[in-house]
């Protein structure tokens, strides 16, 4: 990689539905979009080696600035050769700014125009994150895609606070651009504004005037429900720059991905497939499977007969149930391998459907499938709660 490299995005195809097929060029190689990034918060995708993550089809992973800043420390990672060498991952890495983690600390943080002061959840030590410091930390890590510091307001939230928060987030975005010293690393702005369509439009239009390498939709998947999330995307993505990648942060379920791609989103991340795997909940072509159930005790079939991942090709439902109920470490590994493979297979099918100009039919087929109906039922239950 030469000093002249600059991150870029190629929009390769669009579908009548609104879905987009693209390629994000980073300092550690290209990312085919739409893409789902497994979450490796602490420089590890839990339970798997980097080679195993790559084998699921993942091309890019996510780390977290807040957590890596606190432990082991960004200077440690920098001095050991950067995040890629530290964790032995040679593909692209996106790092979240840590804004969501800081703002979830509630009584342990104090917000100001300067930034956010907080107490570490590890040892109670006091820290200050400013837009400039967050960019500096990510440059030390060597992140291929860096995120600006933003405020993720709670849901629900009154419009006056949302507007004030959005204005401050936009000011922080300008400071983040000014602090950048490594132009070979992409920097994304973050759109906030809750579920208010006017504020979301305002956020998109104001950030579009700033020379970011990509734009993220933040502040969703925080309890607003799937319908509200999709309405917010409907009001947001038409105002986002067409020839820059669009990243929906922290989302989501397989159905969320299918729906959001139809609204023009290119990048996703979520802890759902890895976290549910460790809790024995698996995604299949027939819907979600809770592997602990007694009906699988003598079930010799693979978890998903339509899946060709290592877990499904080599192990029975009965064995997976036994591992999980016995609290064996192998349960987390095999379950995580399957869930990430399921997500990456879905993304490959999504990209192929867009290339064929047939995404609308693909999305409708998924919605009516057993897997799609299973996800809709889950979304309805969450909304009722």
Is 135 inside a domain boundary?
Answer: yes
For 110-148, write each residue's pLDDT tens digit: 999 999 999 998 999 999 999 999 999 999 999 999 999
pLDDT at 100: 79
Please count the structural domains in the chain: 2
User: Does one domain contain both 309 and 197?
Assistant: no
Is 206 inside a domain boundary?
Answer: yes
How far apart are the C-alpha atoms of 192 and 214, rounded to whole Å? 15
User: Does one domain contain both 252 and 291?
Assistant: no
User: Does one domain contain both 303 and 339?
Assistant: yes
**Mean pLDDT of all residues in 303-311:** 98
How far apart are the C-alpha atoms of 344 and 200, rounded to whole Å? 29
- As a whole-number percent, the residues of the chain with pLDDT over 70 amount to 98
Is 88 inside a domain boundary?
Answer: yes
At 3, the pLDDT band (50, 70, 90 cuts) reads low
Q: Is residue 375 pLDDT above 90, yes or no?
A: yes
User: Does one domain contain both 169 and 283?
Assistant: no
Q: Is residue 383 pLDDT above 80, yes or no?
A: no
Is 1 inside a domain boundary?
Answer: no
At 314, the pLDDT band (50, 70, 90 cuts) reads very high
For 247-257, write each residue's pLDDT tens digit: 999 999 999 99
What are the residue numbers of the active site? 96, 269
Q: Is residue 2 pLDDT above 50, yes or no?
A: no
User: Does one domain contain both 166 and 193?
Assistant: yes
Range of the domain at 44: 8-275
Is 3 inside a domain boundary?
Answer: no
Residue predicted with more confidence, 108 or 343: 343
Strands (E) across the chain are located at: 8-14, 20-26, 29-33, 35-37, 61-64, 93-96, 109-111, 116-119, 126-129, 145-147, 186-191, 214-217, 246-248, 267-269, 281-284, 287-290
User: Does one domain contain both 295 and 283?
Assistant: yes
How far is C-alpha 331 from the chain's CA centre? 24
User: Does one domain contain both 234 and 268?
Assistant: yes
- Mean model confidence pLDDT for the chain: 95
User: Does one domain contain both 103 and 161?
Assistant: yes
Q: What is the CATH number of the domain that holds 236?
A: 3.20.20.105
pLDDT at 107: 73
Choose one of 252, 275, 298: the last residue of a domain.
Answer: 275
For 29-54, write each residue's pLDDT tens digit: 999 999 999 999 999 999 999 999 99
pLDDT at 136: 98
pLDDT at 8: 98
Choose one of 275, 292, 318: the last residue of a domain.
Answer: 275
**Residue 148: what are its φ and ψ, rounded to 5°?**
-75, 160
Q: Is residue 160 pLDDT above 60, yes or no?
A: yes
At 150, the pLDDT band (50, 70, 90 cuts) reads very high
Choose one of 275, 293, 316: the last residue of a domain.
Answer: 275
Name residue 25's beta-bridge partners.
8, 30
Residue predicted with more confidence, 103 or 13: 13
Residues 303, 284 contacting (CB under 8 angstroms): yes
pLDDT at 109: 86
pLDDT at 385: 55
């Amino acid at each position: 990689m030469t000093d002249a490299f600059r991150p870029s995005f190629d929009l390769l195809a669009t579908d009548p539905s609104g879905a987009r097929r693209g390629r994000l060029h980073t300092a550690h190689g290209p990312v085919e979009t739409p893409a789902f990034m497994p979450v490796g918060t602490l420089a590890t995708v839990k339970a798997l080696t980097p080679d195993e993550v790559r084998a699921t089809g993942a091309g890019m992973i996510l780390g977290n600035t807040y957590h890596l800043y606190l432990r082991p420390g960004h200077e440690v990672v920098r001095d050991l050769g950067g995040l890629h060498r530290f964790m032995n991952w040679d593909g692209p890495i996106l790092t979240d700014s840590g804004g969501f983690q800081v703002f979830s600390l509630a009584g342990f943080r104090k917000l100001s125009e300067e930034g956010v002061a907080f107490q570490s959840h590890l040892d109670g030590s006091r820290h200050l994150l400013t837009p400039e410091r967050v960019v500096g930390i990510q440059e030390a890590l060597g992140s291929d895609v860096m995120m600006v510091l933003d405020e993720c307001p709670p849901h629900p939230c009154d419009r006056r606070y949302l507007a004030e928060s959005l204005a401050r987030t936009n000011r922080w975005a300008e400071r983040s651009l000014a602090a950048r010293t490594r132009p070979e690393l992409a920097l994304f702005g973050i759109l906030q504004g809750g579920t208010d369509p006017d504020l979301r439009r305002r956020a998109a239009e104001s950030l579009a005037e700033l020379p970011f390498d990509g734009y993220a939709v933040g502040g969703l998947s925080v309890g607003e429900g799937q319908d509200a999330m999709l309405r917010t995307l409907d009001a947001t993505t038409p105002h986002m720059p067409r020839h820059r990648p669009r990243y929906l942060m922290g989302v989501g379920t397989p159905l969320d991905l299918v729906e959001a791609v139809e609204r023009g989103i290119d990048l996703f991340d979520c802890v759902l497939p890895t976290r549910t795997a460790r809790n024995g909940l698996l995604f299949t072509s027939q819907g979600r499977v809770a592997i602990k159930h007694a009906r699988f005790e003598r079930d010799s079939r693979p978890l998903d007969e339509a899946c060709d991942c290592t877990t499904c090709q080599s192990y029975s439902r009965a064995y997976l149930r036994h591992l999980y109920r016995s609290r064996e470490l192998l349960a987390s590994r095999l379950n995580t391998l399957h869930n990430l493979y399921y997500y990456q297979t879905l993304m490959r099918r999504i990209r192929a459907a867009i290339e064929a100009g047939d995404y609308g039919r693909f999305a409708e087929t998924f919605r009516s499938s057993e897997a799609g109906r299973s996800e809709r039922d889950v979304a309805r239950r969450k909304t009722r709660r």
